[in-house]
């Protein structure tokens, strides 16, 4: 059996045990401690913390998430770190409410009850929990879905909320040869994902959730399949009768890449103050009188042009890593405090 070590987290003064063969973030989840995290793959830096004492080693990680100088200085990615002694670790980023009050991780057998294209490269996958029959999560979180026929998983955000009628919906971008998304194109064939198949879901994960009691205007920024968690947040805000002003900037290339716009506008009608801005980076051709704001350009540039008071907003961002990185850089320049920024960078576990 692997040696066990004691981890103390500062400044919250929490303690837990971890075996040498278990990653520190996983051990924390197992013991009901919900540390700040994003990709859980060493790619996004959301779990970056500082070693005050002790010895850890990290598995493969991206130097974009933690560069060599930072590692030298004592920074560590907890999603990739194994402890080899008792350790004291300073959490750089934590949410006091979530830390001990997060929703426990569940493993759920689900059945595919819907599989439909919504654009040329995004598919709506709907899963019905079978065992257990209910899945507890917060709007904006994500789950790991097991790739059928393998032990590997891929992360996908729920587009629905627990209050949404019907199955859990995921919006999935197809990558050529993608181990999970590639199977969505092969419905009805041996090895493809088809209606009626079972898929194991493990979750919820993620911290891109609306915090109770917060009042600042909400700015949502999404690209491509990043629509999923933002749609969940909109569904939650509208169902809970939120009075916060909400602006949703959605970045795609062409009008043909837009989807679910009617649903977004319908949710917006139930909010006190809502604007949907479609940001089209390649072409706006064919979008006559769409019933919402359309801006030409990259989504981050549009946010920069339109949002004068970004430092006084709470920002939720989900989608491709280059979009999230560009938006984070903008928010830094515009002085938005880090504790007002929530994001999921849709990284892939495959290191190209």
Q: Which residues would be at the binding site for ligand FES (CB under 6 A)?
A: 37-40, 42-47, 65, 77, 79
Which candidate, 190, 200, 181, 210, places its Cα nearest to that of 314?
210
**4 CB-side CA count, 13 A:** 5
Q: Using an 8 Å Cβ cutoff, are 348 and 42 in contact?
A: no
Compute the distance between CA of residue 255 and CA of residue 85 in angstroms, rounded to an integer.
Answer: 55
109 binds, among ligand FAD, ligand FES, none (CB under 5 to 8 A by kind): none
291 binds, among ligand FES, ligand FAD, none (CB under 5 to 8 A by kind): none
CB of residue 16 to ligand FES, shortest distance in Å: 17
CB of residue 181 to ligand FES, shortest distance in Å: 20
Cβ closest to ligand FAD, residue 148 vs residue 217:
148
CB of residue 100 to ligand FAD, shortest distance in Å: 22
336 binds, among ligand FAD, ligand FES, none (CB under 5 to 8 A by kind): none
Cβ closest to ligand FES, residue 229 vs residue 268:
229
Angle at 206 between CA 242 and CA 77, to 5 degrees: 140
Cβ closest to ligand FAD, residue 119 vs residue 157:
157
Cβ closest to ligand FAD, residue 193 vs residue 219:
193
Cβ closest to ligand FAD, residue 5 vs residue 345:
345
Q: In what order do the strands lie in the sheet with 153-157?
A: 153-157, 142-146, 198-205, 106-117, 122-131, 168-173
Cβ closest to ligand FES, residue 105 vs residue 216:
105
SS3 141: coil
CB of residue 204 to ligand FAD, shortest distance in Å: 11
Characterise 68 by phi-psi region: left (phi > 0), alpha (psi -120 to 50), beta (else).
alpha
Q: Which residues bind ligand FAD (CB under 6 A)?
A: 38-39, 142, 154-157, 170-173, 175, 177-182, 206, 225, 228, 320, 344, 346-350, 352
CB of residue 347 to ligand FES, shortest distance in Å: 7
- Neighbouring CB atoms inside 10 A of 109's CB total 15
Compute the distance between CA of residue 326 and CA of residue 322 in angstroms, rounded to an integer.
Answer: 6
CB-based contacts of 6: which residues, under 8 Å, 6+ apart? 15, 16, 17, 86, 87
Place of tokens 């795609």: 252
320 binds, among ligand FAD, ligand FES, none (CB under 5 to 8 A by kind): ligand FAD
211 binds, among ligand FAD, ligand FES, none (CB under 5 to 8 A by kind): none
Q: Using an 8 Å Cβ cutoff, are 18 and 56 in contact?
A: no
249 binds, among ligand FAD, ligand FES, none (CB under 5 to 8 A by kind): none
Cβ closest to ligand FAD, residue 46 vs residue 271:
46
92 binds, among ligand FAD, ligand FES, none (CB under 5 to 8 A by kind): none
Compute the distance between CA of residue 123 and CA of residue 185 in angstroms, rounded to an integer.
Answer: 9
CB of residue 180 to ligand FAD, shortest distance in Å: 4
């Amino acid at each position: 059996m692997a040696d066990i070590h004691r981890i103390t987290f500062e400044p919250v003064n929490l303690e837990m045990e971890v075996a040498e063969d278990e990653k520190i973030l996983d051990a924390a989840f197992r013991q009901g401690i919900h540390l700040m995290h994003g990709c859980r793959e060493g790619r996004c830096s959301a779990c970056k913390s500082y070693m005050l004492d002790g010895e850890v080693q990290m598995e493969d990680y991206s130097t974009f998430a933690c560069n060599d100088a930072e590692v030298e200085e004592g920074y560590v990615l907890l999603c990739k770190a194994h402890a080899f002694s008792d350790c004291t670790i300073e959490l750089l980023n934590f949410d006091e409410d979530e830390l001990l009050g997060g929703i426990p991780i569940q493993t759920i057998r689900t059945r595919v009850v819907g599989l439909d294209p919504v654009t040329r490269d995004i598919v709506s996958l709907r899963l019905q929990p079978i065992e257990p029959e209910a899945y507890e999560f917060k709007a904006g979180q994500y789950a790991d879905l097991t790739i059928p026929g393998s032990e590997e998983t891929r992360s996908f955000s729920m587009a629905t909320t627990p209050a949404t009628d019907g199955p859990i919906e995921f919006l999935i971008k197809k990558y050529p040869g993608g181990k999970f998304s590639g199977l969505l194109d092969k419905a009805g064939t041996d090895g493809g994902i088809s209606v009626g198949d079972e898929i194991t879901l493990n979750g919820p994960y993620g911290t891109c959730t609306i915090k109770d009691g917060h009042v600042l205007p909400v700015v949502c920024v999404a690209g491509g399949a990043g629509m999923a968690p933002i749609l969940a947040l909109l569904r939650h805000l509208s169902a809970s009768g939120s009075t916060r002003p909400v602006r949703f900037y959605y970045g795609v290339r062409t009008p043909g890449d837009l989807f679910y716009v009617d649903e977004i506008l319908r949710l917006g009608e139930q909010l006190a103050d809502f604007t949907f801005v479609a940001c089209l980076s390649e072409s706006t051709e064919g979008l006559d009188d769409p019933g919402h704001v359309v801006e030409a350009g990259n989504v981050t540039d549009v946010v920069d042009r339109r949002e004068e008071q970004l430092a006084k907003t709470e920002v939720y961002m989900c989608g491709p890593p280059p979009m999230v990185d560009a938006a984070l850089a903008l928010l830094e320049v515009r002085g938005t405090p880090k504790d007002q920024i929530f994001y999921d960078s849709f990284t892939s576990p495959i290191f190209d």
